[in-house]
Copies of this chain bind each other. A is one copy, B any other.
Amino acid sequence: MPLSQTEENYLKAVYKIAESDQGSVSTNAIAKMMSTSAASVTDMIKRLSEKGYVDYVKYYGVELTTLGKTAATILIRKHRLWETFLVSQLDFSWEEVHDIAEQLEHIQSKELIERLDKYLGFPKFDPHGDPIPNTEGKFTLRNQTILADMAIGEQGQVIAVKIHDTPFLQHLNQIGIQINTPLRIVSKQDYDQSTTVLVEDSEILLSHKVASQILLKKTS
């Protein structure tokens, strides 16, 4: 019994929430991420629990089983490979690909995804800098720092961004930030936690909200 698209999306949501927060995942968090009601989440989680994809304790929360983790990782592998295809082969830009990949990730064919991987040259990272899990679900870990956590004077190179929606990425395009952009922390404002960075000889002010979504590899 294969998973429905909806079931797959729930698993991915649980995976993503568990990735940032730790411990078990709350009904409300899932509802928020899926833009649906808490009642619907309870329904679905029960179903996924019966099928063995999650461990569920009423009023407490949800955790992925090994089975659920594998399913979620495969989905993420597919999503990131398709995003890579769209950008590297079809010349889409990084802010355009999320929604299309969201559909493509549900295509059911193991063979297809292996051939796509090969076709793309077994890429390790997608256009947003996220690691692409291999067939076994393992992916490359990198030494990365959140921009907002860096100290004045430190330098780094952008290696990934944590959110992928079009408006956010368009904003980054506008201020000249993309994957591999080198930058230096010029100053940090305490009162609103904003950060000023030097990008290509110009100083840019980043709100805390933005600065905490950008991941860097320190270069000094």
Contact = CB atoms under 8 A, between A and B. Distances in A.
Interface of A: 86, 89-92, 96, 99-100, 103-104, 106-109, 111-112, 115-116, 119
Contacts of A90: 112, 115-116, 119
B115 A100 contact: no
B92 A100 contact: no
Contacts of A119: 89-90
Nearest to A116: B90
A107 B104 contact: yes
Given A90-B116, A100-B109, A103-B108, 14 more contacts: A86-B112, A89-B119, A90-B112, A90-B115, A90-B119, A92-B111, A96-B111, A100-B107, A100-B112, A103-B106, A103-B107, A103-B109, A104-B104, A104-B107
18 contacts: A86-B112, A90-B112, A90-B116, A90-B119, A91-B115, A92-B111, A92-B115, A96-B111, A99-B109, A100-B107, A100-B109, A100-B112, A103-B106, A103-B107, A103-B108, A103-B109, A104-B104, A104-B107
Nearest to A106: B103
A16 to B, nearest CB: 22
Contacts of A104: 104, 107
A86 B114 CA distance: 12
A118 to B, nearest CB: 8
A106 B108 CA distance: 13
Contacts of A111: 92, 96
A100 B116 CA distance: 13
